[in-house]
Amino acid sequence: MQTKLREVLKHKGRVVHSVAPESTVRDAVRLMNRQRIGAVLVIDEGELVGIFTERDVLVRVVDAQRESRTTLIREVMTTGLVTVSPEIRVGEALRLVTERRTRHLPVMEDGQLIGLISIGDLSNWATQFLQAEIDELERYINGPRLS
């Protein structure tokens, strides 16, 4: 839980899948399905301007009866992103996604996008950490295994 997001990104990788604001919903959804991801970042001339997520597909496209081939991402993306520094720790990031009700955290350093961390990345990291703690405590309680 004390691990910094910089370390998580080293394992996960820094590749970020993104679309332009003028892309269509159909193209963004195809990219999400091809990559098996729940969101794409929206980048306009090098600047992060929004995120388009599975939730946006449900609420702003399907439920709003918009046509995916003609609707542009800029019309339906989520703005006002919660971004984080690579220096924050997994525990803090988990609190942030819960409080801000977001599933994806773009990681920014010196004004540059350097990666994306999802709620799944964080819970996977936290689960591994907690399992290691449990194993350690079990070894402490039971003593070393004799074989």
Ligand X SMILES: NC(=O)c1ccc[n+]([C@@H]2O[C@H](COP(=O)([O-])OP(=O)(O)OC[C@H]3O[C@@H](n4cnc5c(N)ncnc54)[C@H](O)[C@@H]3O)[C@@H](O)[C@H]2O)c1
Q: Which residues bind ligand X (CB under 6 A)?
A: 12, 15-17, 37-41, 103, 116-121, 124
Count the residues in the chain.
Answer: 147
Residue 140 Cβ vs ligand X, minimum distance, rounded to whole Å: 28
The residue (of 73 and 116) whose beta carbon lies closer to ligand X is 116
Question: Residue 94 CB, nearest distance to ligand X (Å)?
Answer: 12
In the beta sheet, which residues pair with residue 115?
107
Smallest distance, ligand X to C-beta of residue 134, A: 19
Nearer to ligand X, 16 or 72 (CB): 16
As a whole number of angstroms, the distance between CA 116 and CA 83 comes to: 9
The CB density around residue 73, as the number of other CB atoms within 10 Å, is: 23
The smaller minimum CB distance to ligand X, of residues 40 and 61, is found at 40
Distance CA 76, CA 2 (A): 36
**Radius of gyration of the chain from its Cα atoms, rounded to whole angstroms:** 19
The nearer residue to ligand X, 101 or 145, going by C-beta atoms, is 101
Which residues sit opposite 105 in a β-bridge?
117
